[in-house]
Each structure stands twice: as C-alpha cells, then as structure tokens.
Structure 1
C-alpha cells in the first residue's frame, strides 16, 4: 500500500508477549478490542499489519499479526504506530457531540471574539488527558511551530468546535483563572 492520504493513529505497538510474535498494543479506540474491526492497519511506511488474534490484558491488548511470526520480528516493532485511512472510519456511528481526535488537527484556534490565536498542530496525550498543541499566529499571518504551546482539551478551554468553519474556540488558561477569581469575589 502507498502512504495514506489521511492517516488516523489507531494504536502503538509495545513490547513482545511470549515467543510466538504476539505483541502488547496500546489502542486509541473506544473499545480496545475494536481495533480488529478496522481491517488492515498500516505503519508510517505503508507496511500492512493484519490482526489474526486479539485479546485484552490489563491496560493493553495482546495482538498477533499475520506478518509477525516470532519474537525477534516482534521486538523490532516496539514503538511502531499503526494507522488506518480516515475513509475507513464510520462517521455515521458518531453521536452529535462526538468526533475523531484526528479531526481537530488543522483547525484554526480563535478566541471568543473570533480573533485568530493559532492552529491545532497535534493532539498529544501523555496519560492525564488530551492536550491541544497550538502553533500561534505570527505577525505575518503564518504559524510559529517552534513557539507552539499546549492547553488542556476540555469543555472549559474549548467551549465550541465548528468543523464546517474549520475553527475551535479557545479560552486561554489565564482567562479561565481570571473568571474563577471573579466568581470567588461574588
């Protein structure tokens, strides 16, 4: 397969499990076992990974891939990210206020008055919840990737998302704290 036009990260391969090539895999699906429902997964280089067996195990799933025959092959895959093309994901199964995290990347971040703050360049999660990585707007109208900053992704910091307009409303943390102080004064 060639590289996906619109890849969506579904999982990250971890350490091997046993001697027959099974792997621990951290999934980013609502139901970890649903990883097997998306068909062939691909790494960043377009190499296919077909799941032959999947079972739960604590915080991960244990997965056997058709392409991985032994522990040595499994050891070489630690840290490999697995993707599907965005077109493989079922939009019709999402509730009104649900979306894929990958759909946030590329949205313009604006303040409550509609003024540009920056652009979402990533949505990392280091274990304590999703964050938005925002590249701020430069005076020339571009985006300063090197000056990107992180904000917690919550209803407080992002009260509105408009996918049709390609924007999300961002309330900077300093404004949230100021609002909290005002509420305490009343």
Structure 2
C-alpha cells in the first residue's frame, strides 16, 4: 500500500536537488537518507535531505542534475507502507483508513467517503451523496470527528456544505 508523503516543487541548484512540499508528519523518517519513495512509475532513493529557508530540499541518487530534477516538478511522492500501519499522531490518518467511512451529519448517514484530494494547503474529502460527488475541506471546523474504529466521519451541519443547490438558493 502507498501513502502520499510529498509533492515535488522546483529544482534547487544545479546538482539535481528538489524542493519538496511535505505531506507527512514523519518527514525525518520518510526522507531519511537511504529510504525509498515512489515517484510516478519509478522508485527513487533519498541521498540527502535538509531544511533550507523553511523548505525540505531532497537529493535522490537517481536524479543527477537540474534538468532531470525539473522534469519531476509537480510529481507526487509516496511511501510504501504495511496496510496495518497507522500514523503515530491520533489526529492523522492515511487515505485508506478514510475511504469507505460513512459520512454523517448529525445523526443521519448522508454518504460515503470515496477519496481524498491532496491540495497544496489542505486536504479535501470526496464524499458520495446519492451518486453526487461533494468535496468537503478536511479541517476540524467542517469534519469535527473521525472514528476509524466506528466507521464514520462527522461533517458539520452547515447550510449548503453537503448540498450545493441549497447554498445557491441561500445566496439568492
């Protein structure tokens, strides 16, 4: 099983180093020298990782120069994990833990979590509600409760959040 751990940003310097937007709470572990990451259809080995001006700069053994580094811009980085592994932080979740959970609003089951969109600033849950795809920012104010063991997420009861038609009517 694979989990998203980062997204490659711009090349850094001329030796193939890359800025990486971190998407893991364990960057020291996931980007430790010698560790492997999945980058598209290939596996890369971390040569070095360091922080520079508030960003993680990573060099991979397979990326020899700036030209090769620039070709990876925007690519998602993933780590291969054991499916039973869970993050150390109880407020963090892997995608596979969330997909399939019931989405509840109040006491009612309104849909099912079908995916997670990893944006540059926050993640967004994709919820199937009666065959309609609805996107809910995965922030505590809108998703106050996640119970993997209980099989559900609670979504805030905010007018228009789960039914965009109601939001349009509320504005008019």
Normalising by structure 2, what TM-score? 0.76
Q: Out of 58-67 and 148-157, give the one that drifted further.
A: 148-157
Matched, 1:116 2:107: no
Separation in 1, partners of 2:7, 2:84: 18
Structure-2 change in CA distance of 1:150 and 1:172 (3 Å)? farther
Q: Deviations over 1:107-141 (max 9, x none)?
A: 221222242333242243342x4332222223xxx
- Please state how far the C-alpha of 1:35 moved relative to its aligned partner: 3.0
Q: Name 2:101's counterpart in structure 1.
A: 107
Q: Deviations over 1:61-98 (max 9, x none)?
A: 1111011111111111111111112318853x624x33
- Please state how far the C-alpha of 1:31 moved relative to its aligned partner: 5.1
Contact 2:102 2:109 in 1 (8 A): no
The CA RMSD over aligned residues, in Å, is 2.7
Matched, 1:130 2:126: no
SS in 2 for 1:87: coil
Contact 1:109 1:117 in 2 (8 A): yes
- Please state how far the C-alpha of 1:101 moved relative to its aligned partner: 4.2
Structure 1: state its 5+ residue gaps: 1-5, 139-143, 177-186
SS in 1 for 2:68: helix
Structure-2 change in CA distance of 1:44 and 1:137 (3 Å)? farther
Matched, 1:151 2:136: yes
Structure 2: state its 5+ residue gaps: 162-172
SS in 2 for 1:173: coil
The structure with more strand, counted as a fraction of residues: 2
Structure-2 change in CA distance of 1:79 and 1:123 (3 Å)? closer
Contact 1:123 1:131 in 2 (8 A): yes
